[in-house]
């Protein structure tokens, strides 16, 4: 299997789109292309480029039941509205029983990978697709290969890439699924491979996409299972969807009202907030969560801080944290309740490093009051740990 990536591109959207159309015609003209849409910005941009180049494409959205709800709208409904030609493949009935009860973070990731590859392979076979298009972007590539994108060629074989990964293993951070899984296609085609997240947003703007999509917050492949610490259950999934939507939508509303935009570029050139969400856990202070030491994921307990709110002091302490994975500032608690809610809001350029969004304490307190009114909420925390020493997600 080969991988075709569009490299050395002009960055201005109009010229980029022209180069992308030429690239797609070079490799995909008269071919049938499978394109998995996740609801995120990268795969949406890849699909819009395929449409613009008039490539015969099958857009597919896999609904496994752990996608987020935003402003009360399920991801599935959102994507159907955005791209009416998308084919929604509903695997909830088969997939959910497999993931329920699985508490190990890596096993959760494996279940997702297996489900994605199984369903994608099935459709590729049934539809006799020649190519698989995806929304891999520049940081994904550099973290997978440990090299600069300028060291890659437009077309490379899987074998060449595995060699390259081995040679640069010290720069390796995480694996991209298409480097590991070989699909039954001639090649993958990656039109946004040389773009950063911010540049992808510019392409969506060029295509006049709605603001909600342009500024859509990144969401991990293992979906809400990455935001439920420990085993996923039918009950905690319902609760997680509710608190996740409440936090993400409320903070977006705050940015819209304050800045007239759902996301800003701050003075450090970060997208603010890059990701904002609620994670849940039972008794989180007794649970090991992920941290980042020397570029590697570690698992350790979180440390709880209470008392006067002092953003700068807390961040400073969290930046130098040792012996714990992160600092959680306690915003409030109920005497009864089952789930701790962790509010996470980070600013970042590309998720490789992140700072904590300086949300006003009045906003955090108002969010806490509402969260405490939900059945099942026990404690509410704001995670004040940058990346490093924490990761963005909790698993
Ligand atoms: P971490 O938690 O490693 O996250 O700081 C960095 C970025 O990657 C996303 N993330 C994932 N994305 N599969 C994915 O597709 C995963 O297993 C995964 N884990 C984390 C995370 O949301 C953040 O944007």
- Sorted by sequence, the CB contacts under 8 Å of residue 271 that are 6+ apart come out as 197, 198, 263, 264, 265, 347, 348, 349
pLDDT band of residue 178 (cuts 50, 70, 90) is low
* CATH 3.40.720.10 correct for 231-383: no
Dihedral, 268, 269, 271, 276 alpha carbons, nearest 10: -20
> What is the radius of gyration, based on Cα positions, of the chain?
21
Distance 32 CA to ligand 1 centre (A): 30
Residue 380 Cβ inside 6 Å of ligand 1? The answer reads: no
The reported pTM is: 0.95
* Average pLDDT of the chain to the nearest whole number: 95
| Residue 220 CA, ligand 1 centroid: distance in Å | 5
Do 2-201 and 231-383 agree at the fold level?
Answer: no
Domain boundaries, the chain: 2-201, 231-383
pLDDT, tens only, 23-68: 999 999 999 999 999 999 999 999 999 999 999 999 999 999 999 9
In this predicted structure, what is the pLDDT of residue 294?
84
The atom of ligand 1 lying closest to the CA of 394 is: 2
User: Does the beta carbon of 135 lie inside 6 Å of ligand 1?
Assistant: no
Mutational test site, ligand 1, from 177, 181, 198, 226, max ligand atoms within 8 Å of CB: 226
Ligand 1 centroid vs 250 CA: distance in angstroms?
22
Identify the pLDDT of residue 145. 82
pLDDT score for 176: 62
Domain 2-201 has CATH 3.40.50.620: yes
Is it the case that residue 332 has pLDDT exceeding 60? yes
């Amino acid at each position: 299997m080969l991988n075709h990536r569009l490299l050395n591109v002009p960055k201005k959207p109009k010229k980029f789109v022209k180069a992308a159309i030429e690239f797609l015609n070079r490799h995909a003209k008269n071919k049938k292309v499978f394109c998995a849409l996740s609801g995120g910005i990268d795969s949406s941009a890849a699909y819009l480029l395929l449409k613009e180049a008039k490539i015969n494409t099958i857009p597919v959205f896999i609904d496994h039941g752990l996608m987020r709800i935003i402003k009360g709208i399920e991801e599935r409904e959102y994507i159907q509205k955005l791209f009416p030609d998308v084919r929604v493949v509903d695997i909830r009935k088969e997939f959910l029983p497999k993931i329920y009860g699985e508490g190990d973070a890596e096993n959760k990731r494996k279940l997702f990978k297996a489900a994605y590859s199984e369903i994608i392979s099935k459709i590729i076979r049934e539809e006799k697709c020649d190519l698989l298009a995806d929304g891999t972007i520049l940081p994904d590539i550099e973290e997978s290969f440990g090299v600069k994108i300028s060291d890659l060629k437009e077309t490379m074989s899987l074998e060449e890439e595995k060699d390259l990964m081995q040679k640069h293993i010290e720069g390796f951070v995480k694996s991209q699924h298409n480097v590991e899984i070989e699909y039954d296609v001639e090649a993958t085609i990656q039109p946004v491979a040389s773009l950063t997240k911010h540049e992808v947003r510019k392409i969506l703007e060029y295509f006049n996409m709605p603001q909600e999509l342009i500024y859509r917050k990144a969401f991990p492949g293992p979906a809400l299972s990455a935001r439920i610490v420990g085993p996923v259950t039918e009950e905690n999934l319902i609760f997680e969807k509710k608190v996740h939507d409440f936090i993400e939508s409320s903070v977006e509303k705050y940015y819209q009202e304050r800045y007239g935009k759902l996301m800003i570029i701050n003075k450090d050139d970060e997208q603010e907030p890059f990701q904002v969400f609620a994670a849940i856990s039972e008794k989180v202070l007794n649970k090991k969560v992920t941290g980042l030491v020397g570029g590697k994921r570690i698992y350790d307990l979180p440390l709880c801080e209470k008392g006067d709110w002092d953003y700068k002091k807390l961040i400073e302490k969290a930046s130098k944290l040792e012996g714990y994975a992160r600092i959680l500032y306690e915003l409030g608690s109920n005497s009864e309740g089952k789930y701790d809610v962790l509010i996470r809001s980070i600013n970042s350029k590309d998720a490789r490093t992140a700072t904590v969004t300086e949300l006003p304490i009045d906003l955090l307190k108002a969010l806490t009051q509402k969260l405490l009114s939900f059945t099942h909420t026990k404690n509410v925390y704001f995670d004040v740990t940058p990346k490093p020493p924490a990761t963005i997600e909790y698993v």
